[in-house]
Every structure is written in C-alpha cells, then in structure tokens.
Amino acid sequence: MRRFVANKAKTLIKTSVFSSSSLQNRNKFQSCSSSLTSSRFLGSSYSFSSMVDDYKHTPLSRDTLNPKVLKCEYAVRGEIVTLAQKLQQELQEKPGSHPFDDIIYCNIGNPQSLGQQPITFFREVLALCDHPAILDKSETQGLFSADSIERAYQIVDQIPGRATGAYSHSQGIKGLRDTIAAGIETRDGFPANSDDIFLTDGASPAVHMMMQLLIRSENDGIFCPIPQYPLYSASIALHGGTLVPYYLDEATGWGLEVSDLKEQLEKARSQGTNVRALVVINPGNPTGQVLSEDNQQAIVEFCRQEGLVLLADEVYQENVYVPDKQFHSFKKVARAMGYGENDIPLVSFQSVSKGYYGECGKRGGYMEVTGFSPEIREQIYKVASVNLCSNISGQILASLVMSPPKVGDESYESYSAEKDGILSSMARRAKTIEEALNSLEGVTCNRTEGAMYLFPSIQLPQKAIEAAEAVHTAPDTFYCRNLLNATGIVAVPGSGFGQVPGTWHFRCTILPQEDKIPAIVDRLTEFHKGFMDQYRD
C-alpha cells in the first residue's frame, strides 16, 4: 500500500493550489488586505521564514497517526480507482490521449452513476417531503402522482410536529420504522418490531456500530467470508479487531461449508482469538451467490451452538436473477427453525443503495437488531444517539423501498415497469458478461445468481506473475491496471476482497447500461487476448 499512498500523495500535491511558495505569497497579500490585526504574533519567534518547509509544525505524521487507520484498506476506492480518475482527467484535458474515449467504472455498485434512472415514485415522495408547502397546491397534482402525494402526506403526518427538518428519534422516525417492520413481516411471514429497527445512513455506519460494540481488542475476532466486501476488513481494522477468515468454495458456486467454519473457528480459538460474530453476505458480494435455505439453516445452527452474533448483510435482497434461487432473510430462516428472539442474536443490514432502486447517494438503510438483551440494546441506542439520527430523506426512502406502491395505486404500473425493466436488464447483463468471461483463455466465472458483481478467476501465466513482481505489484492488480490502461474499464483486483492464496480474481459490476455491454465485452476480450499473447508461458 505504500506505493498507493505515494502515488496519491503526488496527485494531491500536484492538484493542490497550496504549494508552499504560492501560499506564502498569497498569505502576504491576504494578511495585508485583512481587516484583522496581525500585530501581536508576527513579532514572535515564528517568522515567515519558518513557513516554507513542508508541514514542519504539523504534529501529525504517519508515525504518530492511529495505526489502526494506517492498517485499514478499502480497495473499491483504492489504487486502481485513483489511476482511473487520473486517466479521466487526462482524457478531459487532452481528448484522444488514451486508446479509449471514456472510463467505465465497474469498480463499485453505484448504478445511477452509470445511467440507471431512479424510480419515479420514490423521487416524487422525497421531493414532496422536502418541500411539504407544495402538497396542497393545485399545480402539484399536475406534476406528481396521486399516490405519491398521499404517501407524502402520510409520512409528513408521521413526523412529530410535521418537522421534516428536525433530528428524529435516535433510531429513526417511529412511523417510518412501523412501515419498515410491516414490510419485513410481509417479506418474511414472521413478526417484526419497530423497536428493533435502527435507521442508518446506509448500511456502512450500521456495520461500524456493531463492530464498535463487539471489538475490544485484537483478541476479538470477527468471522468473515473470503472473498468479502472490504467494508468488513476495513471496519474490523479501524476498530482494532482480528478478521477470522472462512473461505467460500469457488468450485461449488461459492458455497459455504460449515465444516470449514468449524475448522477455522477451532484454529482461531487455539490461537487465542475470541471469535464474537459471523458475517454472512447474502446475496454474496463480490461473489454473487444466493445461499440455499439448507446452508442458511446450517449457519444459524452453527452461530447458535458456538455463541456467535450473526451479522447478516442482506443489502442485495432484491437482486436475485435466477429462477432456481430465492432470497430468504436469516431472521425468517431462524424463526422457521423455531428459534425466537431470545435464542440467537441476529442483525440484518439493509440499504437503499442496492436492489432495483440503487439510491446510493441518499445514504439510507437500517439494521434490524434481534436477540440482544435490553441492556445491550440500550448501549446500541446510546451509540446511535451520539450521532443524533440518520438523514431523514434516507429514512423516508428506507420506508418506501420496504413499502412500494401496491396493485391499484396510481403509480403501480409505472413503478412495476421501472422495477422489472431494471432487474431483468441486470439479469441479462450478468449473463452476457459471465458468458464472455468464461469464453476467455484461463478465465472461469461462476454465474451471478444475485447482487451486482462478477468475480472471475484468472489463471495468470507465470510470465505475467513475474512481470507483476518486477514492478512490485500483486499479479491481479497488475492485470487490472493493464486492463484499465488499455480499455478504460475499472475493475477491482481480487486481493482487495481476499482470495485463496495463489489464485487471482477481479471484481466487475454488471452495472454499465445494456447498450454499452457489447462494446465492453469486445474491449475486454481484445485486451485479454493481447495480455495472454504477451505473457503466455
């Protein structure tokens, strides 16, 4: 990572207007024109001449920074993305300077950045809640659907004092939590309680909150799938804990073997690690598998027997593309096994950023927290309180995705058409890219049953591995960097997610718009052939 930091630092220095010499001049100028007196301290021992050196007075350096921060890595916005941003700027400043016209960001699940349109009904309601003063204007009926107006009235009435600009209850607005709980009940067929819902600014802060509660020191371990979404490794690093890996089996479509879990648990325990929780991502990120019900039951049972908190990342619950698989929440599975509130501590994370809505910028989400004693819930509430509340638009949107228009509502048809259009297109895109990848020499790719990603394995020739080593780069990063430089396609090296040692992967989203997919497939195919020709052993 040092290289990454050094590169980025150079970029920062280059783009900063505050180079030390220009700064000094500007300050001289500004201090003359300022209305503030600048007498008393300029005569002190700190003269202008001491200002030219870089940050010599800065008490903070890499050596004195919190080492947990240094340790934290976050690949989906890491080295390759920094390079992509640089190339994009070069393309803007000098069109034709690279063998492609645009950068295609396949590094992150950010659908609207690639042209996906928001769901109209959701945006109508959000706009009306942002400016309730127009709710009863006649023009509003010409601009907004009747059910969006009705829903906005309902929501505004659920907010104490109709104060859409006030901090809410620390867990979120009660009426919205009631709606979400009702949505969970409809989804699962089991009761849900609005007291269990904590609305959050996307799923990430919810994950951090749980890590904060669970991790006391590096002796505390959190079980994570490998490959994993790097939020988990980053959050565990920031909180000073230990990531205890369990491997998803690529050969069986990224299956999760409880026997492997047991083995890894024993190993971690024998090394003195107190494993406290198990993270499971379903549908999988970056792996795209949808867990079978059997598998989920086995995981629930394992957590219960071993006394682990089950942290269920279920943010892709709406993203299932294959007819033979279905999403089941872990709470539904646990309840169907007969396990109740007091039997298993379980946290389900949901987000408005994923699904067919893909409203990443709204930062809405929630966690449903069950199976914790009142004294622990009190502590969760306290931690939530320190940040006051999550943003109200995100809260409203979280309630909308759990309670979309229903048959008979004015918006239902257009809503359904938008939703089905997005999901069926995602399924086609996943299939097309998957097939293209599987046709490449040395590449195998499991099908994307759900989520938004492909995670192909690449058998890199020894020569490519050596070429990567020669430039002190991981082989998969080397591949992704070459891919980017040749095609403008931004993928994330598998090493950012974790992989079985000696194997190489990359993660690529299925999110570019459908009309762009053929060109992407062509570029990728051409690049790969050239790369293999260059490095074939």
Touching a second copy, residues 131-160 (CB under 8 A): 131, 133-134, 137, 139-140, 142-143, 160
Q: How far is the CB of 526 from a second copy (least distance, A)?
A: 26
Nearest to 238 by CA among 222, 253, 260: 222
Size of the site for a second copy (CB under 8 A): 160
Angle in degrees, 0-180, between the axes of helices 146-158 and 120-130, rounded to the nearest 10? 50
- 């009435």: which residue's tokens? 157
CA distances from 468 to 94, 284, 481, 531 (A): 29, 29, 10, 13
What the block records as the tokens of 439 is: 């046709």
Whole-angstrom distance, CA of residue 451 vs CA of residue 180: 21
What the block records as the tokens of 361 is: 């910028």
Whole-angstrom distance, CA of residue 270 vs CA of residue 275: 11
Stretch that binds a second copy, among 93-101, 213-221, 411-419, 436-444 (CB under 8 A): 213-221
Q: Which position among 100, 190, 247, 412 is part of the footprint of a second copy (CB under 8 A)?
A: 190
Determine, following the binding rule CB under 8 A, whether residue 470 of this chain makes contact with a second copy: no
- 């396990």: which residue's tokens? 339
Q: How far is the CB of 339 from a second copy (least distance, A)?
A: 7
Would you mind telling me the total number of residues written for the chain in this entry?
537
Q: Which position among 106, 108, 422, 486 is part of the footprint of a second copy (CB under 8 A)?
A: 108
Determine, following the binding rule CB under 8 A, whether residue 335 of this chain makes contact with a second copy: yes
x/- contact string, 238-277, with a second copy (CB under 8 A)? x-------------------------------------x-
Q: Which position among 89, 136, 216, 272 is part of the footprint of a second copy (CB under 8 A)?
A: 216
Q: How far is the CB of 202 from a second copy (least distance, A)?
A: 7
Q: Sign of the CA dihedral 112, 116, 120, 121? A: negative
Q: How far is the CB of 327 from a second copy (least distance, A)?
A: 12
H helix or E strand, kind and range, residue 223: strand 220-226
Stretch that binds a second copy, among 206-214, 244-252, 460-468, 482-490 (CB under 8 A): 206-214
Q: How far is the CB of 264 from a second copy (least distance, A)?
A: 17
Q: Is there a contact between 170 and 389 (Cβ–Cβ < 8 Å)?
A: yes
Neighbours of 92 (CB within 10 A): 9
Q: How far is the CB of 165 from a second copy (least distance, A)?
A: 4
Q: Is there a contact between 203 and 349 (Cβ–Cβ < 8 Å)?
A: yes
Determine, following the binding rule CB under 8 A, whether residue 186 of this chain makes contact with a second copy: no
Helix (H, G, I), strand (E, B) or coil at 360: helix
Q: How far is the CB of 437 from a second copy (least distance, A)?
A: 25
Q: How far is the CB of 118 from a second copy (least distance, A)?
A: 5
Q: Which position among 136, 146, 157, 340 is part of the footprint of a second copy (CB under 8 A)?
A: 340
Whole-angstrom distance, CA of residue 207 vs CA of residue 279: 10
Q: Which position among 104, 106, 118, 437 is part of the footprint of a second copy (CB under 8 A)?
A: 118
Touching a second copy, residues 389-408 (CB under 8 A): 389-394
Q: Sign of the CA dihedral 326, 329, 334, 340? A: negative
Q: How far is the CB of 381 from a second copy (least distance, A)?
A: 8
Instruction: Give the CA dihedral 252, 258, 263, 266, nearest 10 degrees.
Output: 150
x/- contact string, 4-43, with a second copy (CB under 8 A)? -x--xxx-xx-xxxx-x--xx-xxx-xx-xxxxxx-xxx-
Looking at the Cβ atoms of 86 and 208, the one nearer to a second copy is 208
Touching a second copy, residues 473-502 (CB under 8 A): none
Stretch that binds a second copy, among 230-238, 265-273, 451-459, 519-527 (CB under 8 A): 230-238
Touching a second copy, residues 38-97 (CB under 8 A): 38, 40-42, 44, 46, 48, 50-62, 64-70, 72-74, 77
Q: Is there a contact between 180 and 200 (Cβ–Cβ < 8 Å)?
A: no
Helix (H, G, I), strand (E, B) or coil at 226: strand
Q: How far is the CB of 441 from a second copy (least distance, A)?
A: 34
Q: Is there a contact between 526 and 475 (Cβ–Cβ < 8 Å)?
A: no
DSSP state at residue 450? B
Touching a second copy, residues 344-363 (CB under 8 A): 344-345, 353, 358-363
Whole-angstrom distance, CA of residue 337 vs CA of residue 334: 5
Looking at the Cβ atoms of 71 and 447, the one nearer to a second copy is 71
Determine, following the binding rule CB under 8 A, whether residue 448 of this chain makes contact with a second copy: no
Q: How far is the CB of 444 from a second copy (least distance, A)?
A: 30
What the block records as the tokens of 69 is: 């921060």
Q: Is there a contact between 265 and 306 (Cβ–Cβ < 8 Å)?
A: yes
Whole-angstrom distance, CA of residue 112 vs CA of residue 509: 13
Touching a second copy, residues 274-303 (CB under 8 A): 276, 293-294, 297, 300-301
Q: How far is the CB of 529 from a second copy (least distance, A)?
A: 31
Q: Is there a contact between 361 and 140 (Cβ–Cβ < 8 Å)?
A: no
Q: Which position among 104, 244, 279, 333 is part of the footprint of a second copy (CB under 8 A)?
A: 333
Determine, following the binding rule CB under 8 A, whether residue 189 of this chain makes contact with a second copy: yes
